Amino acid sequence: MAIVAMGGEGGGVLADWAVDLAEKRGYWAQATSVPGVAQRTGSTIYYLEFMENDVSGREPILSTMPTPGEVDIVLASELMEAGRAVFRGLVTPDVTTLITSTNRMYSMQEKTAMGDGRISSEEILESCEAASKRFIGDDFAKVAEESGTVISASLFGALASSQALPWSKEDFIAAVERSGVGVANSLKAFERSFEMAKAPKKTKSTPVAIEIGKRPEESKPTGLSPQEELALISNPASGVGPALRELAERIKSEFPEPVRIMLVHGIKRCAEYQDVKYASQYLDRLARIKDRDEKLGDGRYQLLTEVARYTALWMTYEDTIRVADLKARRRRFDRVRKEARANDNQITQVREFFHPGVEEITDTLPGPIGRAILKSNYATRIIERVTRDGLRLHTTSLHGYLLLYTLSRLRPLRRRSLRFSLEQNRIDTWLDQVFDTANEDYNLAVEIAETANVIKGYGDTHKNGLNNFNSIMREVNQLRAKKDSGAALHIASLRQAALADESGAKLRALLSTSA
């Protein structure tokens, strides 16, 4: 039996329980491990062999390392670790029962990508299912957390439940009890996992989800049930408040079904951000793209969907007013309290870490004033000095909240701010680009739309993103001039490169090779 885990997850405790259990049941047990520095959150493996005691008392000679093709049970604390066991050949379809928690602990590579660098859990699950004789996968980590213990306890429960070892549930429980540490919580997790593993979410025969029609062209789930999706598509007004009813009706009359959910989100976002008029401007911006897509697209409205997404996100760019508005809401206060798992007798306090740069401040000021400050070295230096150490704001205090609230009420100033006019120009230039390109190359137009995603973050990150965006747009112009047929693919790879690292090094490297 191999236990694959990450350092600090209690793999050693699990091995100890198993050894104790085996010895009590008249088996010879040998356990080995390779801790080293892996205890510091790296991958680690424990390997155990059990052998029924010899009647004549001979000592069996057991292996200190697993052999691919000969491992009966693999317990994994996390999905990619299960995948690693499959990759190492420890899991084989003829012998191995693979029990894994299906939760993900993302690798550094997945976490540090600018965009979505995650490996598909579905793909790993499919490989795990195909590679094993029996597969038991469910979120055992969640059970452990909810029971106030670590994953060793829930995996031990799943192991008992699988009956892959010749011992009874009571034997397993007795081993946990004998260990004497955190027994109550461990057994709670053990019991729940024992039941879960009888009918785990992921087994070797998971039914395929049924596809239903008329769903939006989306790369991620909308979070709505299919019924809710259909209701919203046929009646967009059902998804908005009274102030937006009119615009929702406009969506219904003017826009095709596959984009309606996106548009409902879009008008709500813009109205919340600024006002109803702004939401109406949002729909205005999309009208001509819709016409193009109707003419040129295949009816799935891929172009319009992406333009609708990124126009809304761009129009609601994150400025100080927006951040203050989002942080001052009651629902946020509730969420924070829930997240901290505070009970009724506990008080929660929240502190923010603000560090506005000079530009973030001038952005919010009326255009002429903002520009004047930016031009004046003296004024920028004063602001820099004042904001150097940033602002730690106690949101749940009176003065802190009042400051935040006041900031959030500056919404009317926004239309006259420096950044507002700047962003509106950028949006329109980008939309022109999309619109013009669509005639020549539909797929390239989709790529241009999606390239808006490289602009994100705050401060320097935002600046770098904008630079990357501009370099890609310059490349677009050249490609259009050359009428390059592989343009869309090329832009897609540039976009991915721009999201690979913050400095834009990968993007520059790619641009220099294509130049």
Q: In the window 371-410, what residues touch another protein (CB under 8 A)? A: 389-390, 392, 395-398, 401, 405, 408
Examine residue 171 and tell whether it contacts another protein (CB under 8 A).
Answer: no
Site map 304..343 versus another protein, x via CB under 8 A:
-----x--xx----x---xx-xxxxxx-xx--x--xxxx-
Count other C-beta atoms under 10 Å from residue 150's C-beta: 23
Assess 131 for contact with another protein (CB under 8 A): yes
Task: Rule CB under 8 A: choose which of 163, 349, 421, 485 binds another protein.
Answer: 349
Q: What is the dihedral of CA 279, 282, 286, 288, to 10 degrees?
A: 100
Question: How buried is residue 502: exposed, middle or buried, by Cβ count under 10 Å (0-12/13-18/19+)?
Answer: middle
Q: At what angle do helices 260-273 and 302-315 cross, to 10 degrees?
A: 10
Least CB distance to another protein at residue 216 (A): 10
For the bound state, the minimum distance from the C-beta of residue 5 to another protein, rounded and expressed in Å, comes to 11
Q: Is 33 in the site for another protein (CB under 8 A)?
A: yes
Taking residues 183 to 212 in sequence order and writing x for each that binds another protein by CB under 8 A, - otherwise, the string is ------------------------------
Sign of the four-CA dihedral 305, 306, 307, 309 = positive
Alpha-carbon distance of 434 to 388, in angstroms, equals 40
For residue 35, which of 17, 12, 3 has the smallest C-alpha distance? 12
Number of alpha carbons in the 13 Å side-chain half-sphere of residue 281: 18
Shortest reach from residue 287's CB to another protein, in Å: 19
Where do we find the tokens 């962003």?
A: 423
Token pair belonging to 485: 């047929």
**From 205, 227, 353, 483, residue interacting with another protein (rule: CB under 8 A):** 353
| Binding residues with another protein: total (CB under 8 A) | 140
Which residue in the set 24, 53, 72, 106 belongs to the binding site for another protein (CB under 8 A)?
106
Q: Which is nearer to another protein, 201 or 329 (CB)?
A: 329
Phi, psi angles (nearest 5°) of residue 384: -60, -45
Closer to another protein by CB, 295 or 392: give it: 392
Residues 64-83 that bind another protein (CB under 8 A): 64-70, 80-81, 83
For residue 162, which of 140, 146, 130 has the smallest C-alpha distance? 140
Angle subtended at Cα 452 by Cα 285 and Cα 310, rounded to the nearest 5 degrees = 45
Examine residue 51 and tell whether it contacts another protein (CB under 8 A): yes
The stretch among 101-109, 167-175, 195-203, 373-381 that binds another protein (CB under 8 A) is 101-109
Work out whether 367 is an interface residue with another protein (CB under 8 A).
Answer: no
> Interface mask (CB under 8 A) for another protein, residues 413-452, using x and -?
----------------------------------------
Number of neighbours of residue 26 by Cβ within 10 angstroms: 8
Question: Measured between alpha carbons, how far is residue 113 from residues 131, 265, 290, 455 in Å?
Answer: 29, 26, 32, 14
**CB closer to another protein, 223 vs 486:** 223
Site for another protein in 225-284 (CB under 8 A): 238-244, 261-262, 265-266, 268-269, 271-272
Mention every residue, 6+ apart, whose C-beta is less than 8 A from residue 361: 320, 373, 383, 387
